[in-house]
Amino acid sequence: MEFSFYTIRQYLPLFMEAFFNTLYVATVSLFFALIVGIIGGLCKVSKNKIIFTFASLYVNLIRSTPLLAQLYLIFFGLPYLGICFSPFLTGVIALTFNNGAYVTEIVRAGIQAIPKGQVEASLSLGMNYFSMMRRIIFPQAFVIIIPPLTSQLVRLIKASSLLSIIAYTELTRAGDTVAADSFAPTEGYLTSAFFYLIITYSLIKLSKYFEKKLNSHKK
Amino acid sequence: MNIFEISEQAIPFLIRGLGVTVYISLISAIFAIIIGIIGGICKISKIFLIRWITIIYVDVFRGTPFLIQLYIAYYVLPSFGIRLNALTAAVGMLAIYNGAYITEIVRSGIEAIPKEQFEASFSLGMTPYQTFKLIIFPQVMRIVIPPLVGRLILLIKGTSVASLIGVFDLVKIGRELAIALRHNPIVIYSLVSLFYFIICYPLYTLSIKIEKKLRLH
């Protein structure tokens, strides 16, 4: 069994492009998922029963169905309705909706981690809901949610590997290409795995650094 | 064709796929839990080598996408002489992949037990086996069951990825139906999602109930 580094060197430009594409689609999706998650998180702490139920329904639906099924639904369903998006956009939509549910839970937990006394104090100082959220709750919640958000980014990057089946050139697809073109699945997929490990390892180290910094002031 | 006609045609096939999904989930779950328990105990071992191997195992298998691991098991292992069929590769990799997560769950469960419990039991004359069975195990179960059920839900959803190496599970049958019968893909994939929802959502509510029950103690 021989492992050919020459093959990998041949495809290195492809892997570089795929490496950046993976990070690109993951960060773009995380950005939009954050927007969805903030809206959803606010809905889930709302006292309004209808808003709360809608948000809960969304979260439970997403969390009880696999990403692949959601991806198929969007990738094959939208063209059936006449809407044709690029693989990148389809991937972003699917990943946004999927991770938006998980970010909703993260944001909700972040908001609920703020002691209720803060809310009471703000209201007794005469702040309305919007001011309270903007000046008191959100800044604190934002710092709290950074560690779980980083691990969500790691999950997002691993989930992006499914985008290989809708022909988006990310790391898994690069491995597929090497496997198909050069009959070298070993070189292809092991290289993909290597790059994924670089990304996830760095992110986990980063997340631990943030967590330390976050907890350092608690002494 | 309207929704009901499509459903009528599709559902018998989908149920077969559901059977495969449940079958794969059960078997890989059992193995994953076994691997996880062994791994959890290994990770707190006093022997550096065992601990080190377990740490590498967990970091590698949690740090790479499951799809890549599946591709490696199915397409790369034959070069090393290990030829697995799609089903075996899927069940095996699901067990190993989720085993890494369960290792962490079990480890944090054991580490959550204060050392005093061990010391107290030993000073009362209990053997390690008795200590583990009567004191440690019930407490670990309490801590471990909620994240474990969460992991099992993710395992069930993870079986869908096995469709990409040719296992005829729920998603694969849905895809074949959508292609072969050219039906409305939205209806078919919604049915697929519905089946997953029927399995996973009750588990999810169950884990919340268990968590509430255990927290009251």
Output A88 or B2, whichever has higher pLDDT: A88
Q: pLDDT tens digits, residue range B98-132?
A: 999 999 999 998 888 888 888 888 888 888 777 77
pTM of the model: 0.90
pLDDT for A217 equals 66
Instruction: Domain count for chain B, please give it.
Output: 1
Q: Is B204 on the interface with A (CB under 8 A)?
A: yes
Q: Are B86 and B165 in contact (CB under 8 A)?
A: yes
- Nearest by CB to A69, from B59, B171, B204: name it: B171
Quick check: A10 contacting B, CB < 8 Å?
no
Low-confidence ranges of chain A (pLDDT < 50): none
CATH code of the domain containing B14? 1.10.3720.10
Helix, strand, coil percentages, rounded to 5, for chain B:
85, 0, 15
Nearest CA in chain A to B186: A77
Contact between B71 and A189 using a beta-carbon 8 Å cutoff:
yes
What residues of A are in contact with residue B59 (Cβ under 8 Å)? 201
Query: CB contacts < 8 Å between A and B, how many?
Result: 123
Is B9:B187 a contact under the CB 8 Å cutoff?
no
User: Which of A1, A176, A201 lies closest to B63 in CB terms?
Assistant: A201
DSSP A128: -
Structural domains of chain A ordered from first start: 5-216 (1.10.3720.10)
Helix (H) or strand (E) holding B84: none
Judged by a CB distance cut-off of 8 A, whether residue B163 touches chain A is yes
End-to-end CA gap in chain A: 55
Span A135-183, pLDDT tens digits: 888 888 888 888 899 989 999 999 999 999 998 999 999 999 999 998 8
pLDDT at B197 over 90: yes
Best mutation site among B1, B24, B66, B76 for testing chain A: the one with the most A CBs within 10 Å? B76
- For residue A122, the distance in angstroms to the closest alpha carbon of chain B comes to 31
What is the extent of the structural domain holding B33? Answer: 3-215
Q: Which structure tokens are listed for A100?
A: 């938006």
**Rounded to 5 degrees, what are φ and ψ at A47?**
-85, -15
CA distance A30 to chain B (A): 17
Instruction: Give first-to-last CA distance, chain B, whole Å.
Output: 55
